[in-house]
């Protein structure tokens, strides 16, 4: 899974996600998940396009089931957005890039005033 979306796991979760002050997008995925493989290149493109505005991370749910459970991730791919360590938005299932961009743009606009 090469790309610009960096891997996050239990050992780095707090530092990367919970302690981040910027908006963070986390892709909950697994190797065996077909829709996850379809979304992966989109997630990497978004990481590149929103560099400096949005932090993008990927979490393998098979390797980190406790974190997936903590956020009630029942289906993958699940894309969750965090701000100041709190989940603020959740998208479940494969979606077109346009839908991800709409959510990202609205969240960035919402939190721009608090930055």
pTM of the complete model = 0.93
Instruction: Tell me the CATH architecture of domain 6-112.
Output: 3-Layer(aba) Sandwich (3.40)
Catalytic residues: 33, 36
Here the contacts of 81-85 (C-beta below 8 Å, separation 24 or greater) are 81/23, 81/24, 81/25, 81/26, 81/107, 82/17, 82/18, 82/20, 82/23, 82/24, 82/26, 83/23, 83/24, 83/107, 83/111, 84/20, 84/21, 85/17, 85/18, 85/19, 85/20
- Which tens digit of pLDDT belongs to each residue from 29-45? 999 999 999 999 999 99
Spell out the domain ranges in the chain: 6-112
pLDDT at 2 over 50: no
């Amino acid at each position: 899974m090469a790309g610009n979306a960096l891997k996050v796991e239990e050992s780095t979760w707090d530092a990367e996600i919970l302690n981040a002050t910027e908006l963070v997008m986390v892709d909950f995925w697994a190797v065996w998940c077909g829709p996850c493989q379809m979304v992966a290149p989109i997630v990497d493109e978004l990481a590149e396009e929103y560099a400096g505005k949005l932090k993008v991370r990927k979490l393998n749910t098979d390797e980190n089931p406790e974190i997936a459970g903590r956020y009630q991730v029942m289906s993958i791919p699940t894309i969750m957005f965090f701000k100041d360590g709190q989940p603020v938005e959740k998208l479940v299932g494969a979606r077109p890039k346009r839908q991800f961009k709409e959510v990202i743009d609205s969240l960035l606009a919402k939190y721009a005033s608090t930055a």
